[in-house]
Structure 1
Amino acid sequence: MSIRKSEKKRYISIYKPFCIYNMSNRLLRLSSIKFTFSFLFIFIIACSSNEDIVIDNDDDQITEEVEEPEEEIVEPLPEGPSEQEILKSKNDLLQLLIENTLNNGVKKTWHISSASLVNATGTLDITANSNILDDEFIFTSSNSSDEVSGILSWKKRKGINHNADANSSVANDNYSSPVELDFIINDNIEIVHPDFTLIKDTENTISGEIIVDEATNSKLMVSLVQKTSDDYKIAPTNINFKSFANFNNITSYGKTTGFVGSNNTNSLYLSYRDDSSYPRVRRVYKYDINSQVLDSTEITYTGSEFTSSRLHLIDDQLVVVGSGRVSTMKNTLDSEISTYPYASNLSRAGSAAVDSQVYLLGGDLTVLDNPKVPFKIRSLNNSTYDLQDVFTIEESRTIAEGEIVDSDLYVFGGLVENSNPYELIKTGFKYNLDNGSLDYFDLPKGIFETTACRYENLIFVSGKLPFVENEPNFFFGVLNVETNSFVETSINFESIDPSLVDIEGLTIVNDTLYIAVENITNSKIVVEYVDLNSL
């Protein structure tokens, strides 16, 4: 079709506005696209962190270069000791416990170098307390199981009050025989038992904790070192006693006065039979060492009763043993007194106590068909307070006192009954309360009316000698139970002439030895003392 010029002009004039509009619209769209692209570009850059953005102009694509993470290097865990190494460490520790490097012919013995008592009231340093310093620990090996194991023999000896809230109340008056506790050495190289855990602290030290009362979670924190010969007490060859107190109201005759000291109350107790009143009474006295106050009470009785009194302290009770009855009361003397008769009527029997058990020694009277009765060891039943036979020795031995160290009962001297002139016995014996073994030992002299008290590995012993005018008629000596040696000791008094005394009793309170003697001119009691740490 042909267009005429006039029409062409008209067409152009009609189409031109359309084209201009159309071009403007396209330009506007192009600007919008460019704006959108620019915004996206800026947005991508803003959101990128530590990553490079690369625009590939060839294919108009945007690609992100991703950095590969570094491979984590895991250090290998150190290997633990092998079973062989653990076994060797266990055996090395057991060897340390039992091997005696002193070569003194006895088992290796450990003792406490430091100790703290931990209970509900706090922690007390009790290292210097005499009731803890006498403890000993002996380890032995055992092949009773596949474990590296053994047995600990703990010689507890003097007891402690596990509820103490001050050092002044730590000591109690009980004395214990050794206990044996099985232990194993575990893979952590610890010495363990339900009641204790110990470890090797240094080459020569064992430390750890010992539970002393599970109910209150009271425990001892201890360090143990080997006990050497220098750590044992040495028997003195000479003692100079110092004046302490005169008890002019206490009468004695021939080893009849009971005498004992208390670490718990820091007091001395005395008892004797008073024949001046009716009904008869057995008087009991408590003398406070610090305040010097004398308290007293009396035990009334009817019927026959020999003169002798023997005193023992068990827990917080004072036990008064007469010849035919036993009485108990609080160690403060302010409680009701309970008295129990027993079948035998013993004359000046000896006595000793361990593990809250009182033992009576001899005291049987002769009968016509048996003028020399055997020597019997009896126990006092804590429930019925009757006497039970423990051991009988077929020999005559009377007015002989004894003392117990660990599980060994030592009895010293005595008199052959009905001997005329007096036949004094120059031997003592050791009876083991666990296995019943009996061993004799010699005394320097024959003695009777003996008395004794223990001090760690020592037993102080006194006894009466035949009367010689103007001469001391007593013997004093010390038995070392560790070396089985007996030393005769020279003693002097400050307040009385030695030729005028009979020794009635010995006792130790907090490292001080007290001696009660009868002034034979008036039958009154005099007490003197010596600090054992000064010897």
Structure 2
Amino acid sequence: MKNTLLKIALLPVAFFMLTNCGNDDAVDPVASIDAIQANSIEILTGGDAKTWKISSAQLDANGTILDLSSNFNITDDEFIFSGTVENGMLNWRPGHAVNLEGTTNQETLLDYYLGPISSSVTFYTDSGTSLTTLDGAFTFDVVDANTITGVLTTSGRQASGDLSITLTQKMQADYASIPANGLDFSLVTSFTTENSNILGAEIATGFIGSYSENSFYIITRDDSQITIPGDPGPEQILKFNIDTNTFEENLFYQDQYVTKRLNIINNELVVFGGQFANTYPLNPNGDPTSIFQHDLALTRFGFSVQNDLAYITGGDTAQNDLANKIRSYNYITNEIQEIAILPVTRFRSDNEVVNDKLYIFGGRNGFNIGNPIPEKESYILNILTGEITSFDMPDDPYSSNASRNEHLIYVGYETRTDNGSDDDDSFDKTINFGVYNTLDDSFTVLAHNLDDSAEFTTIEAMTVFNGNLYVIYGDTSNPATVSIFSAPI
């Protein structure tokens, strides 16, 4: 392919040489450019659709060149080219945004997951190898059969700065893979707590990792710190710094339900609770920077984010009347919209979003009233079209947690079986893990080494970051020992 490109590229030179020599069979320069453009499109698309990755990235930060090549928000980008010379297309999957206004490597890191962007691709006039897309925000050159070089000037809301990038073809080995030997968990840290809701409330606790802070956050309602009898405990944020192995605590007193889902949008902590949505900086210090009272009265609902929108599934305390709704929450405008209706109700069912599709895993058809039934049927909402499809998990999850790793979604879920006891609250419980592959819509069950032999031992929440799956694990007795375990993935 390289030799072919070289020969075609020499055609315009041959044209001038032949013309100067008076050759009547001179090469048509327009035909030459057409041939070069056709060859460039063949390289970009592979004849159909071809995926490229960023192999190197340098940011010019006011004259200082920063090498961002190994940053998490660079390695997760995908550029998928398709189409023809006349109708070339790019589907850019940026993953997490890059702060192009950063002046240090650390400042360029953003916990800010973005959805795909589609844009036409056009050649510059009289060029066979120079192209532009994303409304001029990405200009690039086809160098050879496996190299594209260009300048990207946009990423999320940050739209200034010149990111010089080199793209190479993304191969199968470059994709995140499912651990062949399952999950081997080891202890990260543990602590004892009394009358807290970190454990035992079944996906009521929020948990997420921050790449830019190299920390993870736990959000719960801590009823051990009630100051007025009869009032609920404060909203408690625990930040664990992996570098220093230390916790920091932030408390905010607010009358709200126990369920608190947590995510990060554009380097801000967004805590979405049953009645309020609170926003904090990544180093919370006191009250939230913004408070939005939505009064939806939600509990044990799913929550995930893409762009500036969070997606909320199920969990209405009105039970079967309303718990089948899918809503979007815009944390910039505080607008909540109902965007779809599931064919069933769902509680204790987590969700995750990958490239404009929302995946909802198992859960129960009710909260606590009327002996709710766990169900394996799970759902996919195409956010762009509104289409809902379904698939079955291998088991019937009583509750589920989900966390994204590129195109893979890790799912931690609990199953329960009757142990024959006369006690209605006695059962055999099993902790399970699996991975949903969004590329081929397959579900793989993973072996693991967490002990679930004790009746009240559970996983309460989980998150993926820094190449590891982290889980909140422990016994729901009071006082409880809360443990954080991690497994490399």
TM-score category of the 2 structures, normalised to the smaller one: 0.7 to 0.9
Partner of 1:199: 141
Provide the secondary structure at the position in 2 that maps to 1:108: strand
Instruction: Give SS of 1:173's match.
Output: strand
* Residues 336 and 81 of structure 1, relative CA distance in 2, 3 Å threshold: farther
1:260 maps to 208
- Aligned equivalent of 2:405: 455
Q: What do residues 252-283 of structure 1 show as CA deviations (whole Å, max 9, x unaligned)?
A: 22222111111111111111112240343111
Question: TM-score w.r.t. structure 2 length?
Answer: 0.83
Matches within 5 A, 1:494-509: 499=454, 501-509=457-465
Q: Is the 8 A contact 2:56 2:167 kept in 1?
A: yes
> Which amino acid letter does the alignment assign opposite residue 179 of structure 1?
I
Q: Does 1:340 align with 2:292?
A: yes
Aligned to 1:31: none
- Any stretches of 5+ residues in structure 1 without a counterpart? 1-74, 101-105
Paired residues for 1:280-295 under 5 Å:
280=232, 281-295=234-248
Matched, 1:247 2:197: no
Q: Is the 8 A contact 1:236 1:478 kept in 2?
A: no
* CA distance, structure 2, for counterparts of residue 519 and residue 221 of structure 1: 50
Tell me the equivalent position of 1:511. Answer: 467
Where does residue 36 of structure 1 map in the other structure?
Answer: none
Shift of 1:76: 4.7
Tell me, yes or no, if structure 1 residue 404 matches structure 2 residue 353.
yes
* Aligned match for 2:439, one of 482, 485, 495: 482
Residues 77, 516 of structure 1: alpha-carbon distance in 2 compared, 3 angstrom cutoff: farther
Helix, strand or coil: the match of 2:74? Answer: helix
When structure 1 is superposed on structure 2, of 244-253 and 481-490 the one drifting more is 244-253
Contact persistence 2:360–2:380 (CA under 8 A): yes
- What does residue range 97-246 of structure 1 map to in structure 2 within 5 Å? 97-99=44-46, 107-120=49-62, 122-141=64-83, 148-186=86-124, 187-189=126-128, 190-193=130-133, 194-212=136-154, 217-237=160-180, 238-246=182-190
Alpha-carbon distance in structure 2 between the residues aligned to 1:333 and 1:388: 28
Give 1:346 deviation, angstroms: 0.5
Structure 2 match to 1:465: 415
Tell me the amino acid that sits aligned with residue 221 of structure 1. Answer: S
1:40-79 equivalences in 2 (<5 Å): 76=20
Change (3 A) 1:420 1:490: farther
Q: Secondary structure at the match of 1:90?
A: helix
The 3 A distance-change label for structure 1 pair 381 and 217 is closer
Whether the aligned pair in 1 keeps the contact of 2:398 and 2:416 (CA below 8 Å) is no
Pick from 226, 251, 262 the counterpart of residue 311 of structure 1: 262
Counterpart among 416, 432, 437 of residue 387 in structure 2: 437
Residue in 1 aligned with 2:250? 297
Q: CA 1:77 to 1:225, structure 2 compared with 1: closer, same or farther past 3 Å? A: farther
- Alignment match, 1:389: 338
Residue 166 of structure 1 and its aligned partner are, at CA, apart by: 3.7
- Counterpart position of 2:423: none
C-alpha displacement of 1:340: 1.9
In structure 2, do the counterparts of structure 1 residues 155 and 77 end up closer, same or farther at CA, with 3 Å as the change threshold? farther
Find the aligned partners of 1:165 and 1:498 in 2 and give their Cα distance. 51
- Cα distance in 2, alignment partners of residues 232 and 381 from structure 1: 31
Query: SS of the counterpart of 1:114?
Result: strand
Equivalent in the alignment of 2:6: none
Asked if the contact 1:204–1:225 (Cα under 8 Å) also holds between the matched residues in 2, the reply is: yes
Aligned to 2:154, the other structure's residue is in SS state strand
Gaps of 5+ in 2: 1-18, 420-426
> Structure 1 length normalisation: TM-score?
0.77
Give me the whole-angstrom Cα distance separating, in 2, the residues matched to 1:316 and 1:130: 14
2:163 alignment partner, SS class: strand
- 8 Å contact from structure 1 (residues 183, 191) kept in 2: yes
Q: Which amino acid aligns with 2:131?
A: I
Asked if the contact 1:119–1:216 (Cα under 8 Å) also holds between the matched residues in 2, the reply is no
The verdict on how the C-alpha distance between 1:383 and 1:314 changes in structure 2, with shifts beyond 3 A counting, is closer
Whole-Å separation in 1 of the counterparts to 2:394 and 2:176: 20
Percent sequence identity over matched residues? 27
Residues in 1 aligned to 2:21 and 2:102: alpha-carbon distance in whole angstroms = 48
> Conserved in 2, the CA contact under 8 Å of 1:120 and 1:216?
no
Q: What amino acid sits opposite 1:228 in the alignment?
A: M
Contact 1:235 1:479 in 2 (8 A): no
Code of the residue aligned with 1:91 in structure 2: it is A
1:87 pairs, out of 22, 26, 34, with: 34
SS of 2:257's partner is coil
1:269 corresponds in structure 2 to 217
The CA deviation at 1:126 is 1.9
